[in-house]
Amino acid sequence: MAINYLNSIDLNQNELIHAQIENQASDALAGTGVEGQLYFNTTDDVLKVWSNGSWSSISGDITSVTAGNYLNGGGNLGDITINHDTTSRSNTTSSDSPGYGGSFTAIDTITTNAYGHVTDVNTKTVTLPASDDTTYDLTVPNGTTDIRLAGSDTTNDDVTISATSNETTVTRVSAGELRIGLPDDVTITGELTVSGTGQSSFAGPVTIPQTPSADTDAASKHYVDQAVTGALSYQGGYNAATNTPNLDSNPSPNPIKTGWTYTVTADGLFFTEQVRVGDVLIAETDAPTALADWTTVQNNVDLADLTTVGIGNVNPGGAIDVSYSGGTATVSVEDSTASNKGAVIVAGGTGISVAYASGTATVTNTETNSSNTATGTITAGSLSGTVTHNFGTKNTIVQTINSSGDTVFCDISRTTNTSVATITATQANDITILVQKIG
């Protein structure tokens, strides 16, 4: 279904891209137009315009070509060929029909404009050869017929073998032997790959990067020393009832190292702290002598969950605040904001009422449809229609439809209290104006 525009469309000097002119097979099917109306005739493949009461082609195509003197051919359809008529030429000395060695004027180029109209014809003088047996000689440069390829070379060239510093050496063994090998000190700037199933050995120390970067890299002594320092080293069980082995009575000498770890096998006091079976003791310094030098990991107290009483704490969550004082947690609900969930109260606004019952809010629209919408009519035979809505705002959506319910496009103007629709030509049926308030 075509969209009906009842007013002119102003593109404000913008391009109309990928547009198609109305296609019809004949003038009769195109019907009666108005001055300047266009359509494309698909039978003749020409663009036509309505002018002075009829359809006329504006393509400017040349529809017929006629051959003139001493020419044959021509036509009015498809590709047209014009040939020089040699059979009718009887007077070879005539200036109209020259023979060999004579000359005549011929059309060189024809210039047309964008509509196919001829705007210029250029001519030139054509001179015929003295005879029809003219021959042409091909001259070889320098008067020779011998073509020689350049660049051939049969001389012997010397070859120099050079060694790369710190990578290879070249040694003369004899007049007929050169030996290429590795120098005593080899420096390789790229990568060295050693393959084979045997073991590689080094008589001296091997220097590698201090810190490895891949899992398969060799580790330096410095890296191993740093990695081992402070690592956990399990030493066995600890009887807290008998202090066996001696951990808290200043053992002397004190061999305990940072990272030594023990598991409590019998309940008792460790320094002044009660420890029980399953607890883990970790030395934090070498030769520890106080409870502060140890980390005690409690193992016999479960973490709390929904069904188990145990160790736990309360953390704040979405819309929940938690504060502590003297070991007591206070939990409160936050007020809701634009960026945070929380407690909220629904309040009524313009055209909206809110009622509460048993904690449930009921929201009701108190505005009627007539408060936000209005209609009007462009009466058949009229050029405009006005809707007085008194919305107090220009923020309205205005649409116009015909008697079939199809959208038509009219000029629309708005004030705070009215909406007006106008058309350029009267219609046979009423046009309904629909107005809706926004905001």
Mean pLDDT of the region 306-313: 72
Tokens of 274: 């009660």
pTM recorded for the entire structure: 0.34
Average pLDDT rounded to a whole number, residues 222-250: 82
Residue 281's closest CA among 249, 239, 342, 218? 239
Phi, psi of 286 (to 5 degrees): -70, 145
Among the listed residues 326, 332, 370, 328, the one whose alpha carbon sits nearest the alpha carbon of residue 351: 370
Domain boundaries, the chain: 18-57, 65-126, 233-297, 369-437
At 397, list the tokens: 């959506």
Predicted pLDDT of residue 195? 76
For residue 241, the model assigns a pLDDT of 95
Over pLDDT 90: what percentage of the chain? 32
Q: Looking at residues 98-118, what average pLDDT do you find?
A: 64
Q: Which two structure tokens, joined as six digits, stand for 76?
A: 């009015």
Contacts of 327 (CB under 8 A, 6+ apart): none
For the ranges 160-174, 228-242, 367-381, the lowest mean pLDDT is seen at 160-174
Q: Does residue 143 register a pLDDT over 80?
A: no
Please tell me the distance from the alpha carbon of residue 24 to that of residue 41, in angstroms, as a whole number: 5
Model confidence at 145, pLDDT cuts 50, 70, 90, reads very low
The pLDDT of residue 136:
44
Q: Which two tokens stand for residue 101?
A: 């060695």
Which of helix, strand or coil describes residue 404?
A: coil
The 10s digit of each residue's pLDDT in 5-18 is 888 888 878 898 89
Which range is most confident: 220-234, 264-278, 295-309, 313-327? 264-278
At 372-431, the pLDDT tens digits run 899 999 999 999 999 999 899 999 999 999 999 999 999 999 999 999 999 988 999 999
d(CA 91, CA 99) in angstroms, rounded, equals 8
Q: Label the pairing between strands 273-275 and 280-283.
A: unpaired
Q: Are 435 and 397 in contact (CB under 8 A)?
A: yes
Q: Is 73's pLDDT higher than 80?
A: no
